[in-house]
């Protein structure tokens, strides 16, 4: 007993000397974690030496006095004190000394695959019972018990099988000797926010099908309210009235809205229509120049488009989109995408192609060549800066594209230029 008391007294003197030393003997200075641990050792030894207190009670008081927890912190204080008495070494932090191992479960692609699998409900071992749970056909007790089974067994087990059989082979990996534990799968589900097979706050998603429902298109006016006479109801579905599109919206405007607006406000008023509908924004005139509606070959089922135009040598040149009535093969038929410069000047013989190729190259204006030369230099500069392909395209686009911030509106200057050319 005397030897142990003498060892504690000597240890207390040594720890006091270390803490009062002007040398940097404590890592991080007087206010760092190691200094707090050293002061807790000093407090524990002081209580044991002066107050004859046992190590259990002394460690609890020393831990609380130095802002450590009462139980786990006291246990650590006892370990640190015994190590100090034995070897005069202070506890060191293990921060940054652990092995740097990245789990494949933290990979974003793997997480996305597991997330999609959990939502697919393919992990269910009893699909019929799961369907009853979704449709609220189980009583409260059965639903609670089955939900507990889903969270603790079915979902983790199904996720484990999918991960070992589908995900790991994609990365040329194999499960360990004992495989993945169900507790790891449960922690993964909790970290992703799954309380059942859904994220917190989500509702079950019904599988898509042909379906049937009502689409309602209405107009509300800031002066008279809802224009009931302009309302249109569509029973959408594959086997019913079809689906809403821009043509139906235009028909509603001309046949429903304009008469209803006139009846509500009388003559001499102008309607400003604000459309909150993507199909309404995608309306085009029947003869609009849309390459997506053109066939590759002439004639066939394609719309008759109005004539286009382009500028050549400063002059406006009209480009007909329909063959003339005197055409030998396609009289009064719409042209396809093949009917352009070389093809319009070609009889599909090799000799004519040989003659027209230099003419086509000669028709390219030097201004267009300058533009493409500048564009090439923009790419060269971007690659010289070390940018990748996608970043280089974004940088070049900053010089080659002009952004208009207004929503679906052509600037006044651009509109005037188009009017002058027209």
Residue 221: phi and psi, rounded to 5, are -115, 140
Is the pLDDT reported for residue 199 higher than 60? no
**Residues in CB range of 153: below 8 A, 6 or more apart:** 182
pLDDT at 113 (0 to 100): 82
Measured CA to CA in angstroms, residue 288 lies from 285, 294, 303, 332 at distances of 5, 11, 9, 18
Higher pLDDT, 348 or 63: 63
pLDDT at 230 (0 to 100): 87
> For residues 118 and 189, is the Cβ–Cβ distance under 8 A?
yes
Q: For the chain, which residues make up each domain, given as ranges? A: 2-87, 105-191, 213-281, 291-362, 366-421
Structure tokens at 129: 């019972």
Torsional class of 252: left (φ above 0), alpha (ψ -120 to 50), beta (otherwise): alpha
Is the pLDDT reported for residue 277 higher than 70? no
Q: Which residue has the tokens 């509109």?
A: 415
10, with CB counted inside 10 A (0-12, 13-18, 19+), is: middle
**Residues in CB range of 40: below 8 A, 6 or more apart:** 62, 63, 65, 66, 68, 73, 77, 80
Structure tokens at 329: 């093969």
pLDDT at 422 (0 to 100): 47
> For residues 217 and 249, is the Cβ–Cβ distance under 8 A?
yes
pLDDT at 386 (0 to 100): 82
Structure tokens at 140: 């409260």
At 363-408, the pLDDT tens digits run 767 787 788 788 888 888 888 888 888 888 888 887 766 665 655 5
At 68-122, the pLDDT tens digits run 888 888 999 898 898 888 888 888 776 666 666 667 777 778 878 877 787 776 7
Report the run of H or E that residue 319 belongs to, with start and end.
strand 315-319
| Model pTM above 0.75 | no
Average pLDDT of the residues in 32-41: 83
CA dist., res. 53 & res. 65, Å (int)? 16
Average pLDDT of the residues in 162-190: 78
Residue 346: phi and psi, rounded to 5, are -130, 140
- Three-state DSSP at 164 gives helix
pLDDT at 134 (0 to 100): 73
CA dist., res. 112 & res. 205, Å (int)? 18
Is the pLDDT reported for residue 135 higher than 50? yes
CA dist., res. 247 & res. 43, Å (int)? 85
Is the pLDDT reported for residue 340 higher than 70? no
> For residues 336 and 294, is the Cβ–Cβ distance under 8 A?
yes
> For residues 283 and 292, is the Cβ–Cβ distance under 8 A?
no
Residue 144: phi and psi, rounded to 5, are -65, -45
> For residues 260 and 218, is the Cβ–Cβ distance under 8 A?
no
Q: What is the mean pLDDT of the chain?
A: 76
Beta-bridged to residue 237, according to DSSP, are 242
pLDDT at 22 (0 to 100): 66
> For residues 94 and 112, is the Cβ–Cβ distance under 8 A?
no
Is the pLDDT reported for residue 63 higher than 80? yes
- Three-state DSSP at 242 gives strand
Per-residue confidence band for 141, with pLDDT thresholds at 50, 70 and 90: confident
64, with CB counted inside 10 A (0-12, 13-18, 19+), is: middle
pLDDT at 189 (0 to 100): 76
> For residues 154 and 225, is the Cβ–Cβ distance under 8 A?
no
User: Count of CB atoms within 10 A of residue 260's CB?
Assistant: 19
Measured CA to CA in angstroms, residue 83 lies from 88, 374, 381 at distances of 7, 73, 63
**Residues in CB range of 353: below 8 A, 6 or more apart:** 342, 346
């Amino acid at each position: 007993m005397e030897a142990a008391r003498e060892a504690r007294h000597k240890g207390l003197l040594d720890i006091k000397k270390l803490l009062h030393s002007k040398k940097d003997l404590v890592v991080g200075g007087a206010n760092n974690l190691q200094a707090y641990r050293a002061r807790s050792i000093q407090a524990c030894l002081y209580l044991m030496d002066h107050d004859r207190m046992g190590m259990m009670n002394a460690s609890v008081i020393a831990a609380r006095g130095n802002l450590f927890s009462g139980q786990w912190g006291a246990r650590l204080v006892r370990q640190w004190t015994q190590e100090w008495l034995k070897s005069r070494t202070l506890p060191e932090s293990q921060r940054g000394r652990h092995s740097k191992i990245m789990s494949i479960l933290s990979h974003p692609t793997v997480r996305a695959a597991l997330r999609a699998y959990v939502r697919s409900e393919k992990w269910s071992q009893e699909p019929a019972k799961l369907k009853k749970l979704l449709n609220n056909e189980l009583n409260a007790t059965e639903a609670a018990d089955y939900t507990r089974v889903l969270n603790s067994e079915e979902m983790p087990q199904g996720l484990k099988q999918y991960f070992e059989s589908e995900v790991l082979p994609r990365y040329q990996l194999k499960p360990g000797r004992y495989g993945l534990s169900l507790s790891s799968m449960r922690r993964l589900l909790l970290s992703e926010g799954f309380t059942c097979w859904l994220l917190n706050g989500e509702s079950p998603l019904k599988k898509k099908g042909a379906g049937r429902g009502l689409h309602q298109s209405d107009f509300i006016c800031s002066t008279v309210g809802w224009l009931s006479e302009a309302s249109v109801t569509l029973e959408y579905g594959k086997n019913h009235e079809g689906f809403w599109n821009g043509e139906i919206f235009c028909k509603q405007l001309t046949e429903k809205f304009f008469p209803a607006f006139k009846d509500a406000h009388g003559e001499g008023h102008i309607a400003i229509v604000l459309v909150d509908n993507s199909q309404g924004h995608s309306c085009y005139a029947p003869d609009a120049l849309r390459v997506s509606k053109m066939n590759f070959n002439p004639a066939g089922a394609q719309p008759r488009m109005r004539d286009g135009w382009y500028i050549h040598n400063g002059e406006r040149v009209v480009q007909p989109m329909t063959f003339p009535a005197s055409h030998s093969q396609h009289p009064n038929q719409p042209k396809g995408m093949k009917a352009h410069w070389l093809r319009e000047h070609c009889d599909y013989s090799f000799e004519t192609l040989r003659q027209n190729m230099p003419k086509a190259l000669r028709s390219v204006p030097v201004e267009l060549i300058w533009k493409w030369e500048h564009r090439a230099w923009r790419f060269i500069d971007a690659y010289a800066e070390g940018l990748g392909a996608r970043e280089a395209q974004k940088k070049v686009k900053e010089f080659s594209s002009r952004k208009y911030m207004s929503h679906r509106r052509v600037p006044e200057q651009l509109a005037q230029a188009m009017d002058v050319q027209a």
